[in-house]
Each structure stands twice: as C-alpha cells, then as structure tokens.
Structure 1
C-alpha cells in the first residue's frame, strides 16, 4: 500500500506590492501620450516633408533650401516615427498582459528615445538653415529625455512593484 501524497496548493502570487497601480499609472499615460505625439509628428511634419513639392524644394540642388542631408534626415525621421509608434503599441500590449519582457522594453523605449533624439539633433545641425532655425528646443528636449531616463530606467530595474507585476 502506497502512502497518500497530499496535494498542496501553492500560491504563486508575489509578495509585496504588485499590479498596474502606483507609478506605473504614469508610465501608462506616458505611453499613450507618446503614441499621440508620434502621430502628430508624423502627420504634421514628417509626411508633409515627403509631399512631392516639399521634397523637391528640400532635396533638389536647384533649390535655395537644398542640402544633401535633407533627404536622409526626412527618411530617418519618418522611419523612426513609424517604427517607434509600432514599438509603443507592442510595449503597451505587454504592459496590460503583465509580461516579464515589459521592463526591458521600457528601458529600450527610453534609451532609444534619447539616442535617436541626439542623432536627429546632430544631423539637423549639419544643415545651415536648420541650425539657424534652432531655438534651443531641440537641446531642451534632449535634456528632458536625459532626466526621464535617469528617473525611469532605474525605476524599472529596482522597483518592487515592477518586479512583482511583470513575472509571466
């Protein structure tokens, strides 16, 4: 006769705080706002630059606004904005599904935002007319992103709520 093995119910819920509350509410709002801002950027600036007339003015060597970098910068910005919009959607889905990959996606999200902003700013400074029109807002945006990264990247690395929420 074999001894009866009693099944024990194991509670796999994490200890401590968890869930999509707390500071994660700000992250969620930030993701939605980013998606809106990327769409605005895409439709107001990037796609209008692809308009045949605008494209011709900026990329034709007969134009007074011509610079060889315009075409590459416009394509770079359009590509980045489209990919970043898709990445934001994927990240938001992982957020609501509480997937363990979400914290890494957010670290990539913030890091890439900063890196691409710096690259874009430096590329635009190569164009004399863009450099003349620079009013400091590009540099201000980069400083804002540095502060954002300095706050949120450590949060996603060290937060108990993040560790306990995104475990699947």
Structure 2
C-alpha cells in the first residue's frame, strides 16, 4: 500500500506486478509439451522427417521460451506465439495427411483445442500490458 503522503497514492492500486498465474500456466504448457517432444525423440528412432523436424523445433522453442521467461527477455512472447502456431500448423498438416487415408483417425478435439489456444494466447501476448511490462530486457 502506498503512503498517504504521496499525491498519487491510489492511482496504481489495481495494478499487479510480476508474472501472474496466466503466464506461469502458459510456461508450464510449453515446457511440458517440449519435454514430451524430447522424450519422443529419444524413444522413437524411426521418426519420419516431418515428425523429426516438428519435435526438434518444439524442443528448441520450449527451451528458449523457458530461458527467456525467467530472464524476462522481450522476445519471449514471440516464442510463445511461435510455439502455438507450430502446433497448429503441425496438426493441420497431420489432419490433411490422415484425411486421405484414414478419415476416421483424425483427432478433431486436439485440432479444436489448439485453435482455441491460438485464439486466446496470440492476442494476449500481442496486447497484454502485463506481458509488455514483464518481458522488457
């Protein structure tokens, strides 16, 4: 609470500082999916080229996002956006590839979930005042 002697004592009362729960949840989601991709790389030696590139990019983006998150780097929101767009592009590609051979095996729930997350996360990272204040270095 600010001092009463300060003339702007009640100006910033509602403003919160720090990461906030939303950013921690996004970091957890990115780190968890990056860890799953890394485990998939080590367990499956027979990945095709698309899955290999996707997994490697996911691990690199997740690692860079985690480091940038705690270092408060200004490019961290861009990495969050890249992560979710990479997931969206990959799922659309897999859905198109599976639709010709196995139309019953398309995971529509995952596709809708990633689209909804992109709709939520991308505008948040681009317009959020908290993200702009936290990631400044």
Match of 2:79 among 105, 114, 129: 105
Aligned positions, number: 124
Q: Deviation of residue 147 (structure 1)? A: 0.7
Map 1:80-159 → 2, pairs under 5 A: 80-126=54-100, 128=101, 131=102, 134=105, 136=106, 138-159=107-128
Any unmatched runs of 5+ in structure 2? 1-11
Q: Does 1:49 align with 2:23?
A: no
Any unmatched runs of 5+ in structure 1? 1-14, 51-73
Question: What is the CA–CA distance in structure 2 between the aligned matches of 1:89 and 1:29, rounded to whole Å?
Answer: 12
Contact 2:30 2:83 in 1 (8 A): no
Structure 2 length normalisation: TM-score?
A: 0.78
Q: Could you say which residue in structure 2 is the equivalent of 1:34?
A: 33
Q: Secondary structure at the match of 1:38?
A: helix
Question: What is the CA–CA distance in structure 2 between the aligned matches of 1:160 and 1:113, rounded to whole Å?
Answer: 25
Structure 1 length normalisation: TM-score?
A: 0.65
Q: Deviation of residue 141 (structure 1)? A: 0.8
Question: What is the CA–CA distance in structure 2 between the aligned matches of 1:132 and 1:114, rounded to whole Å?
Answer: 19
Q: Deviation of residue 25 (structure 1)? A: 1.3
**Greater relative CO, 1 or 2 (CA 8 Å, sep 6+):** 1
- RMSD across aligned positions (CA): 2.1
Question: Stretches of 4+ moved more than 2 A in 1?
Answer: 15-18, 39-44, 47-50
